Amino acid sequence: MPSRVGRVLDVGCGSGRLACILTTRAERVDALDRSSMMIERARRRCSEAPNLRVLEGDLLDLAVPLSTSGYDAITALASLHHMPLQSALERLAGLLRPGCRPTPPSVPRSRSVAELANPTTKACRCARPRPRWPNCGQP
């Protein structure tokens, strides 16, 4: 992901770890999860990020109020395999802005969420991105 990006959707955001970090890189972040418990945690963790919308709903539910103008990037960390893959990928393709393309993830399990959001692996090892919001790095 580039160091600055416009509108990002984090699918299956869970407790909001990645979404919260993304708010430091993106103009707008929508964090989506179908679990009300996770949504509550994400709202608590990222409460101070003004550029974040935390949305409860299923990715495949067209009634969920996602951006009608699409997204410049979509993340789905450890969540795609919980969904019917074909339908989920079709939905995600429809949500990407023209010119954006899906990039299959390939991340060793040992890598942290903070590392994922960092532009270079070397930088990840040396300096984790400092959260802009106080609760951002909390488990």
Ligand X SMILES: C[S@@+](CC[C@H](N)C(=O)[O-])C[C@H]1O[C@@H](n2cnc3c(N)ncnc32)[C@H](O)[C@@H]1O
Binding stretches for ligand X (CB under 6 A): 12-14, 17-18, 32-35, 38, 58-60, 77-79, 82-83
| 98 versus 108: smaller Cβ distance to ligand X | 108
Q: Taking the complex as a whole, how short is the minimal distance between the CB of residue 16 and ligand X, in angstroms? A: 8
DSSP assignment of 62-100: TTS---TT-BSEEE-TTTGGGS-HHHHHHHHHHHBPTT-
**Could you report how far apart the first and last alpha carbons of the chain are, in Å?**
23
Q: In sequence order, what DSSP letters do the residues of 38-53 get, joined into one string? A: HHHHHHHHTTT-TTEE
Residue with Cβ nearer ligand X (7 or 77): 77
CA of 100: how far to CAs of 12, 13, 131, in Å? Answer: 20, 21, 27
- Closer CB to ligand X, residue 7 or residue 45? 45
Closer to ligand X by Cβ: residue 97 or 111 = 111
CB of 100 to ligand X, least distance (A): 20
Q: Whole-number minimum distance, CB 98 to ligand X, in Å?
A: 24
